[in-house]
Amino acid sequence: MFHLSPQTFASKAAHYASLAEQARHLIAGEPDLIANAANFSALVFHSLPDLNWAGFYLFDGTELVVGPFQGKPACIRIAIGSGVCGTAAQTRQTQVVQDVNQFDGHIPCDSASQSEIVVPLVRADGSLLGVWDVDSPVTGRFDEDDRVGMEALCKVFMDQPGAGRTP
């Protein structure tokens, strides 16, 4: 059984390093993508402060479709190139948005969300698995430390057998 306990960290980097290690142990040996995505979402959502949504949008070959997540109900489908998630998927670059109200084309699934970070999930062969999306009700919640930390977490996720392989 996995146990999540509150901890205090000296820095965001230390917190993300601990989360990456917890994620590695949580998904180790489990080949099912959906099971790992569900547990990964719960781990991050319940471990980082000031989040109101954390989860996956998976690429179905045409568009992004909501996958496992924690938070309020979300938009089900997002076109590649639309909103923060679609932009991350199209550019294959992490998007850190300090104020979603200033992002041209932002898709407001939850009006409480004020900032967002989205990491594209790209397989070793260059194909798109989807995106990892995290929202906060706090403007300016995400910074460079969060970008580095979220990208490291996503690397752990993509290293598990169910994510890295092309279906």
What is the structure's pLDDT at 3? Answer: 52
Higher pLDDT, 29 or 45: 45
With a cut of 80, say whether residue 119 has pLDDT above it.
yes
Closest CA to 129 of 22, 40, 26, 25: 40
| Domain chopping of the chain, boundaries | 12-164
Q: What is the pLDDT of residue 131?
A: 98
> What are the tokens at 70?
């924690």
* R_g of the chain computed on alpha carbons: 15
pLDDT tens profile 71-98: 999 999 999 999 999 999 999 999 999 9
Judged against a pLDDT cut of 60, whether residue 6 lies above it is answered with no
Read off the pLDDT band of 107 (50, 70, 90): confident
In the chain, pLDDT over 90 holds for what percent of residues?
A: 80
The DSSP code for 75 is: -
Find the helix or strand (DSSP H, E) in which 65 lies. Answer: strand 63-71
Report d(CA 85, CA 107) in Å as an integer. Answer: 9
The CATH superfamily of 12-164 is GAF domain (3.30.450.40)
Residue 95: closest CA among 79, 128, 121, 117: 117
pLDDT at 2 over 70: no
Q: In the structure, what pLDDT confidence band is assigned to residue 121 with cuts at 50, 70 and 90?
A: very high
